[in-house]
């Protein structure tokens, strides 16, 4: 088993596995410390973030501090170029990015990382109830919500340049939308979307005009939260999205960047329940959302 690991992002690939596999002490550093209060969510990795010897290193300026720390592996989940660079410097760069899997495939990331610590049995035990609950809820939704009556969901956000940003069709988000009983309108519009895609604002407004909900994926939610007025003040173009005016827009950062950690990388069952409780509240009437949060309509 390995004893030291560095990830060159905010921990979106490995942190949750380390927390639940009992291996938080092996995390020597990250590219940046994620935004949010993790003291209750992932207390052991939170202690690592706050420890004096924790390495925070933006490797875009060079890998020197990471090389000096000499981790047994470095996790490089989002850049093929940086993986090549890390390996050329003698670092054991490992790739894993769960955001392009199905929700349960993403939750299985526990199993992948368990191989590095000889904890496959524990990973299987952690994953099993998540799979059972997810499958049960998805089946309940499928039986209760006819395809032809499913609400249309607009996915993405407005960029600083005034275009619309979204993801391509294999993203975990779209699997969640369908399993929760929704229809992703941009995907079903047969647009040729790349993995990271931008379309014109005019096209986005036209396609999304009839959308019942808006999945707002913008990191601006870390500042704006559920305040509709703040979203319009930050960019008046947001007012062009009918779902915001109707109170059916929601963001994903209610618990900070833990969305890209616990939600996506482990508790897919609860993430699905979050989404179901928003678009089909009658199917999850007593559920208080954990990561998703409805945005209050702007006052004007």
117 domain-assigned: no
Report pLDDT for 180: 99
Same domain assignment for residues 139 and 274: yes
Report pLDDT for 197: 86
107 domain-assigned: no
Report pLDDT for 191: 74
What is d(CA 266, CA 101) in angstroms, rounded to the nearest whole number? 12
Report pLDDT for 188: 66
Report pLDDT for 189: 64
Mean pLDDT of the chain: 94
Q: What is the pLDDT of residues 52-84, one digit of tens each?
A: 999 999 998 899 999 999 999 999 988 889 999
Same domain assignment for residues 64 and 195: no
264 domain-assigned: yes
What is d(CA 278, CA 291) in angstroms, rounded to the nearest whole number? 12
In this prediction, residue 205 has a pLDDT band, given cuts at 50, 70 and 90, of: confident
**Would the pLDDT of 38 be above 80?**
yes
Same domain assignment for residues 169 and 290: yes
Q: Which of 96, 117, 142 is the last residue of a domain?
A: 96
What is d(CA 139, CA 134) in angstroms, rounded to the nearest whole number? 9
What region, left, alpha or beta, does residue 91 occupy, with left being phi > 0 and alpha being psi -120 to 50 degrees?
beta
Q: Read off φ and ψ for residue 247, nearest 5 degrees.
A: 75, 20
Same domain assignment for residues 248 and 157: yes
Report pLDDT for 235: 93
What is d(CA 218, CA 18) in angstroms, rounded to the nearest whole number? 27
* Global pTM value: 0.94
Q: Which range (164-168, 177-181, 227-231) has the least confidence? A: 164-168
110 domain-assigned: no
Same domain assignment for residues 160 and 260: yes
Report pLDDT for 25: 98
Strands 196-199 vs 164-167: parallel, antiparallel or unpaired: antiparallel
Answer for the pair 170, 97: CB distance below 8 angstroms, yes or no. Answer: no
Domain count of the fold of the chain: 2
Q: What is the pLDDT of residues 242-256, one digit of tens each?
A: 999 999 999 999 999
Same domain assignment for residues 181 and 83: no
Expressed as residue numbers, the domain containing 202 is: 129-294
**Would the pLDDT of 192 be above 80?**
no
In this prediction, residue 220 has a pLDDT band, given cuts at 50, 70 and 90, of: very high
The token pair that represents 270 in the structure block:
């609860």
Residue 189 burial (CB count, 10 A):
13
C-alpha torsion sign, points 278, 280, 284, 286 = positive
> Mean of the pLDDT values across residues 23-45?
94
**Residues 6 or more apart in contact with residue 84 via CB below 8 angstroms:** none
What is d(CA 104, CA 109) in angstroms, rounded to the nearest whole number? 9
CATH number of the domain residue 36 falls in: 3.40.50.1980
Answer for the pair 15, 45: CB distance below 8 angstroms, yes or no. Answer: yes
Overall residue count recorded for the chain in this entry? 300
**Would the pLDDT of 128 be above 90?**
yes
26 domain-assigned: yes
Same domain assignment for residues 136 and 84: no
Give the CA count within 13 Å in the CB-facing half-sphere of 15. Answer: 30
Report pLDDT for 75: 95
288 domain-assigned: yes
Residue 140: is it exposed, middle or buried by C-beta count within 10 angstroms (0-12/13-18/19+)? middle
Same domain assignment for residues 36 and 136: no
216 domain-assigned: yes
150 domain-assigned: yes
Report pLDDT for 78: 84
The share of the chain scoring above pLDDT 90, in percent, equals 81
> Mean of the pLDDT values across residues 147-151?
96
Report pLDDT for 298: 96
Q: What is the pLDDT of residues 157-167, one digit of tens each?
A: 999 889 999 99
Same domain assignment for residues 89 and 135: no
Same domain assignment for residues 283 and 136: yes
The token pair that represents 37 in the structure block:
């209060």
Same domain assignment for residues 222 and 148: yes
> Mean of the pLDDT values across residues 90-107?
93
Same domain assignment for residues 88 and 143: no
């Amino acid at each position: 088993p390995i004893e030291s690991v560095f990830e060159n992002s905010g921990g979106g690939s490995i942190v949750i596995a380390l927390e639940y596999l009992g291996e938080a002490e092996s995390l020597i550093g990250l590219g940046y410390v994620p935004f949010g209060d993790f003291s209750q969510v992932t207390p052991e990795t939170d202690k690592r973030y706050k420890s004096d010897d924790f390495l925070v290193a933006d490797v875009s300026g060079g890998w020197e501090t990471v090389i000096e720390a000499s981790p047994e592996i470095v996790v490089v989940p989002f850049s093929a170029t940086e993986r090549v660079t890390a390996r050329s410097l003698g670092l054991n760069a490992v790739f894993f990015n769960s955001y392009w899997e199905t929700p349960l495939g993403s939750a299985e990331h526990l199993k992948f990382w368990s191989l590095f610590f000889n904890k496959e049995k524990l990973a299987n035990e952690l994953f099993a109830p998540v799979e059972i609950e997810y499958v049960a809820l998805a089946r309940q939704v499928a039986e209760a919500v006819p395809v032809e009556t499913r609400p249309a969901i607009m996915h993405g956000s407005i960029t600083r340049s005034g275009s619309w940003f979204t993801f391509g069709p294999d993203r975990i988000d779209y699997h969640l939308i369908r399993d929760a009983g929704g229809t992703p309108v941009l995907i079903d519009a047969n647009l040729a979307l790349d993995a990271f895609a931008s379309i014109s604002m005019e096209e986005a407004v036209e396609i999304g005009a009839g959308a019942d909900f808006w999945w707002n994926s913008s990191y601006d939610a870390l500042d704006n939260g559920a305040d509709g007025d703040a979203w319009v003040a930050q960019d008046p173009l947001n007012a062009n999205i009918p779902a915001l005016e109707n109170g059916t827009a929601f963001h994903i950062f209610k618990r900070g960047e833990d969305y890209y950690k616990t939600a996506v990388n482990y508790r897919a069952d609860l993430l699905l329940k979050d989404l179901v409780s928003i678009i089909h509240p009658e199917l999850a009437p007593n559920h208080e959302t954990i990561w998703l949060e409805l945005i209050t309509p702007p006052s004007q």
